[in-house]
C-alpha cells in the first residue's frame, strides 16, 4: 500500500471520480469525437468533388444557352436554308439540352449546399464533443494520480490488476458496439428522411400527370418540387451508405441510386409526354418501395442484433466496474483499519447510470 494516508475524504474522492468517469464513458465521447473527425474529412473531400462538378455543370449550361441564343439569332437565315419544320426541330433539341443542363446545374447546387450544411453540422458536433473529451481526460488523469498515490504506483492487489485489464477490454468492446449503434441509428434517421422525401416526390409526380398539358406553370412548379425531393432523398441515401460503408445493403444499392439520379435529371423532359411520365413514376415508385424495405431491414438489425449486443456489452462492463470498485474500496478500507481508523462511509457503490443505486455495505468488503 502507498505512503499516502487514506482518509474518508480520499475514498469519497475516488467514488466521485469513478462515477463521473463512468457516466462520460457511457456517452462514448472519445470514439464519437474520433468518428466525427474522420467523417468531417470524408465530407470535406466530397465537398471538393461537388464544387468541381458544380463548376462543370455551370460551364455546360453556359454552352447550351449560347447554342440556343446563337440558333435563335440566326433563325431567319437558317429557316430560309433548311425550312421551318427542320428549324423548329433543331430549336426544340437545343432548348431541351439547355433545360437538361440547367436542371443538372440546379441539382449540383443543391447537393453542394446540402454538403456544406452537413460540414457545418459536423463541425458544431466536434466543437461540443471536444470539451467533453478534455474533461474526461482530466478526470482519468486525476483518478490515476489518486490511485497511484494510494497504491504507490503499483496495483493494490493481483485481483485489482486483473479486473482493471478486463475493464479496459470491456470498455473497448462496449465502445465498438456503441459506435456501430450510433452509425446504424443515425443512418436510420437519414433513411427515414429519404423514404418520406421519395413518398412526397411520387405523390407530386402522380398529381403532375393529371394536369392539363396547357397548364405549364403548375407543371413546372410540381416538377421542381419532385426534383428537389428526389435530390434530397438521393443525398440522404448516399449519406446512409457512407455511415455504414463496410455494409452491403440489400436494397437501394449504388446502381439503383445512379438510375434515380438520371431520372431526376430528366424531370422537365419526362413531364412532357405520357409515356415518359409513366416510366419516371414507376422508377420513383420502385425506389420508394425499396427504400422502405431497407428501413425495415435497418429496424430488424438494430432490434435483433445491435441493441442486444450493446446491452450485453454494457452489462458486462457494468458488472466488472462494480467488482473493480468493490476491490479498490476493500483495499482502501483495509488501509484505513491498519492505521487504526474505522471505515463507516455511507457512499454509493452502484455506478451512476444503473437502474438501482446501492450504498456501500462494508460487510461485503471484509
pLDDT digits (tens, 9 = 90+) for 158-204: 999 999 999 999 989 998 998 899 899 989 999 999 999 999 999 99
Q: What pLDDT does 10 receive?
A: 85
Here the cell at position 215 is: 397548364
In percent, how much of the chain has pLDDT > 90? 55
d(CA 22, CA 261): 46
The radius of gyration computed from the CA coordinates of the chain, to the nearest angstrom, equals: 32
Residues 6+ apart with CB under 8 A from 23: 352, 353
In this predicted structure, the answer to whether residue 24 has a pLDDT above a threshold of 60 is yes
Per-residue pLDDT, averaged over 257-267, amounts to: 94
First-to-last CA distance in the chain? Answer: 17
Supply the mean pLDDT for the chain. 87
d(CA 11, CA 365): 14
Q: Helices (DSSP H) in the chain: which residue ranges?
A: 8-26, 29-73, 75-82, 84-151, 158-208, 216-243, 254-265, 267-270, 274-301, 307-338, 362-365
pLDDT bin (cut points 50, 70, 90) of residue 345 is: low
Q: What pLDDT does 320 receive?
A: 94
Q: How many CA atoms lie within 13 A of 102 on its CB side?
A: 14
pLDDT bin (cut points 50, 70, 90) of residue 307 is: very high
- Are 91 and 16 in contact by the 8 Å Cβ rule? The answer is no
In this predicted structure, the answer to whether residue 17 has a pLDDT above a threshold of 90 is yes
CA-nearest of 327, 286, 309, 93 to 198 is 286
d(CA 10, CA 146): 8
In the block, residue with C-alpha cell 416526390: 201
pLDDT bin (cut points 50, 70, 90) of residue 4 is: low
Q: What pLDDT does 359 receive?
A: 39
- This prediction has a pTM of 0.72
Q: What pLDDT does 344 receive?
A: 61
Q: Is 48 exposed, middle or buried (0-12, 13-18, 19+ CB in 10 A)?
A: exposed
pLDDT bin (cut points 50, 70, 90) of residue 3 is: low
Q: Give the range among 29-38, 71-80, 277-286 with minimum mean pLDDT.
A: 71-80
In this predicted structure, the answer to whether residue 364 has a pLDDT above a threshold of 60 is no
Per-residue pLDDT, averaged over 23-43, amounts to: 88
Q: What pLDDT does 343 receive?
A: 62
Beta carbons within 10 angstroms of residue 89's beta carbon: 12
In this predicted structure, the answer to whether residue 351 has a pLDDT above a threshold of 80 is no
Here the cell at position 327 is: 476491490
Q: Is 11 exposed, middle or buried (0-12, 13-18, 19+ CB in 10 A)?
A: buried
In this predicted structure, the answer to whether residue 358 has a pLDDT above a threshold of 60 is no
3-state secondary structure of 170: helix
In the block, residue with C-alpha cell 490515476: 144
Q: What pLDDT does 223 receive?
A: 93
Select the more confidently predicted residue: 87 or 250: 250
pLDDT digits (tens, 9 = 90+) for 116-138: 999 999 999 999 999 999 999 99
Q: What pLDDT does 9 receive?
A: 84
Here the cell at position 214 is: 396547357
Give how far the C-alpha of residue 256 lies from the chain's centroid of Cα atoms, to the nearest Å. 21
pLDDT bin (cut points 50, 70, 90) of residue 152 is: confident
pLDDT bin (cut points 50, 70, 90) of residue 361 is: very low
Q: What pLDDT does 58 receive?
A: 96
pLDDT bin (cut points 50, 70, 90) of residue 112 is: very high
3-state secondary structure of 361: coil
d(CA 19, CA 11): 12
Beta carbons within 10 angstroms of residue 287's beta carbon: 26
Q: What pLDDT does 342 receive?
A: 62
Using alpha carbons, list the distances in angstroms from residue 51 to 143, 237, 275, 300. 48, 20, 35, 37
pLDDT bin (cut points 50, 70, 90) of residue 216 is: confident
Here the cell at position 42 is: 470524408
Structural domain boundaries of the chain?
Answer: 8-365
Q: What pLDDT does 338 receive?
A: 75
Per-residue pLDDT, averaged over 80-97, amounts to: 82
Q: What pLDDT does 200 receive?
A: 96
Residues 6+ apart with CB under 8 A from 318: 351, 354
Q: How many CA atoms lie within 13 A of 29 on its CB side?
A: 19
Amino acid at each position: 500500500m502507498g505512503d499516502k494516508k487514506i482518509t474518508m475524504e480520499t475514498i469519497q474522492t475516488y467514488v466521485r471520480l469513478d462515477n463521473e468517469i463512468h457516466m462520460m464513458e457511457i456517452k462514448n465521447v472519445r470514439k464519437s469525437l474520433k468518428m466525427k473527425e474522420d467523417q468531417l474529412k470524408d465530407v470535406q473531400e466530397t465537398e471538393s468533388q461537388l464544387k468541381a462538378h458544380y463548376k462543370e455543370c455551370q460551364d455546360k449550361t453556359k454552352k447550351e444557352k449560347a447554342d440556343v441564343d446563337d440558333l435563335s439569332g440566326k433563325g431567319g437565315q437558317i429557316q430560309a436554308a433548311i425550312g421551318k419544320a427542320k428549324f423548329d426541330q433543331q430549336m426544340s433539341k437545343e432548348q431541351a439540352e439547355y433545360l437538361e443542363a440547367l436542371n443538372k446545374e440546379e441539382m449540383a447546387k443543391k447537393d453542394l449546399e446540402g454538403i456544406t450544411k452537413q460540414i457545418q453540422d459536423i463541425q458544431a458536433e466536434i466543437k461540443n464533443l471536444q470539451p467533453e473529451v478534455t474533461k474526461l481526460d482530466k478526470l482519468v488523469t486525476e483518478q490515476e494520480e489518486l490511485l497511484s498515490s494510494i497504491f504507490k504506483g503499483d496495483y493494490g492487489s493481483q485481483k485489482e490488476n486483473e479486473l482493471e485489464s478486463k475493464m479496459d477490454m470491456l470498455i473497448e468492446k462496449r465502445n465498438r458496439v456503441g459506435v456501430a449503434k450510433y452509425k446504424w441509428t443515425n443512418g436510420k434517421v437519414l433513411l427515414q428522411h429519404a423514404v418520406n422525401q421519395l413518398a412526397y416526390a411520387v405523390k407530386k409526380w402522380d398529381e403532375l400527370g393529371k394536369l392539363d398539358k396547357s397548364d405549364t406553370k403548375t407543371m413546372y412548379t410540381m416538377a421542381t418540387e419532385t426534383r428537389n425531393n428526389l435530390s434530397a432523398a438521393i443525398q440522404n441515401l448516399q449519406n446512409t451508405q457512407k455511415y455504414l460503408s463496410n455494409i452491403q445493403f440489400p436494397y437501394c444499392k449504388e446502381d439503383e441510386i445512379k438510375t434515380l439520379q438520371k431520372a431526376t435529371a430528366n424531370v422537365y423532359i419526362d413531364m412532357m409526354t405520357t409515356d415518359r411520365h409513366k416510366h419516371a413514376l414507376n422508377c420513383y415508385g420502385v425506389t420508394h418501395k425499396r427504400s422502405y424495405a431497407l428501413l425495415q431491414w435497418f429496424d430488424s438489425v438494430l432490434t435483433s442484433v445491435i441493441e442486444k449486443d450493446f446491452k450485453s456489452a454494457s452489462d458486462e462492463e457494468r458488472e466488472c466496474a462494480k467488482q473493480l470498485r468493490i476491490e479498490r474500496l476493500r483495499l482502501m478500507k483495509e488501509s484505513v483499519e491498519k492505521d487504526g481508523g474505522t471505515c463507516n462511509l455511507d457512499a454509493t457503490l452502484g455506478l451512476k447510470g444503473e437502474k438501482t443505486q446501492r450504498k456501500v455495505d462494508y460487510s461485503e468488503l471484509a
